[in-house]
Every structure is written in structure tokens, then in C-alpha cells.
Amino acid sequence: MGTAIPAPDAIQEFKVQTANYDASYGRGAGANVDLVSRSGTNRFHGSAWEFLRNDIFNANDFFLKLDGQPRPKLNQNQFGVSFGGPILKDRTFLFIAYQGQTEINGEAAGAKQTAILPQLASDRSAATLGAQFCPANHLNAAGYLTSAAEPRWPATVPTSIPLLLRCLTSR
């Protein structure tokens, strides 16, 4: 259970004190928040409101769009009403407020896939890393067999980085 937070239309004023407050607030450290709620008046008044977040307003993830996957489901609605007025004129007043929330937060179709990577050994040579991350006899995207330490890169580039990139880009 969390702290009760009033609906926005039920708040008339608030004050946040972070330091130098008097002894009436006690000896606790941290901030104090004072809140004054609205009250009824001699006239009837009210409001209705909604904050909406919907998946049709969001862009699709780059990789989901690349694979032709739809956007994940995301619907968040916060809504509320408030109403105030007199019960007995100039004597007794009424003010009520209600706030509700619904939320649907689905995951993307491919979101549950977890990559399982091998443990790195103390030997970080290109041949060892290549054998762990890109085993021999693995078909790349073009359908060619890969080898763990193919020396096709210039000497100025560390050999482990191109091997890892080649393994990650091939499926």
C-alpha cells in the first residue's frame, strides 16, 4: 500500500517545506508537505477530467518495426470527477472527489527472449573469443560457414572486435 494521493481537482493549495520549519512539525528529518483540500460553496460546481496514454500515440520500437512486429499494448487512463455545493445554505457544505486508474501494459512479442552469453575466460585472444561467441560451422546470414579466427582485418584494428561484430551481425 502506498500513500494516498488526492485527485488533482481536490487540492486547493499545497506547501512544501524542506528546511527551517517550526517545532509544530516535530523533529523528523526531510520535507513536510501541507495540503489544503477544496470545500463546497453556496453554488454547485464540479469537473470531470482524464489523462490518457494509448499505444496509438506511441512510435513503434525500431527493432520491432524492422522485424514487422506490431507495437506492444500500452493503455493508461487516469480519470476523475469532483463535485461541491451547499447542503444547508451558508452553514454546511459538501465536496467529493473521485480518481480512478486503469492500465494495460503488455510486452512486445519478442520481449521475452533472453540472450544467453558464454562466460569469458582469462584467455581473451581472438581465437578463444571467436570460438565462444561464433562457433565453427555456424552459417552466417549469407549462408556461408564461419570460422573462429579468420584473419581478414587490418593489423591496426584489434582482432577480437571485428570477430564479435561479425558474429553479432550474422544469424
Q: Which residue has the higher pLDDT, 95 or 154?
A: 95
Question: Within 10 A of 153 (CB to CB), how many other CB atoms are there?
Answer: 15
What CA–CA distances, in Å, run from 20 to 24, 35, 97?
12, 18, 33
At 31 the pLDDT is 80
Domain count, the chain: 2
Percent of the chain scoring above 90 in pLDDT: 16
Local structure of 60: helix, strand or coil: coil
> pLDDT band for position 140 (50/70/90)?
low
Tell me what the pLDDT averaged over the chain comes to: 75
Q: Tell me the one-letter amino acid at 125.
A: S
Domain residues for the domain of 133 are 126-169
State whether 59 and 92 are in the same domain: yes
What CA–CA distances, in Å, run from 5 to 8, 11, 32, 121?
9, 10, 15, 52
State whether 27 and 91 are in the same domain: yes
At 171 the pLDDT is 56
Give the H/E segment covering residue 157.
none
pLDDT tens digits, one per residue of 18-71: 877 777 777 777 788 888 888 888 999 999 999 888 888 888 888 878 888 888
Task: Look up the pTM and report it.
Answer: 0.49
Question: Within 10 A of 143 (CB to CB), how many other CB atoms are there?
Answer: 6
State whether 17 and 97 are in the same domain: yes
Which of 137, 119, 138 has its CA nearest to residue 129?
A: 119
State whether 24 and 98 are in the same domain: yes
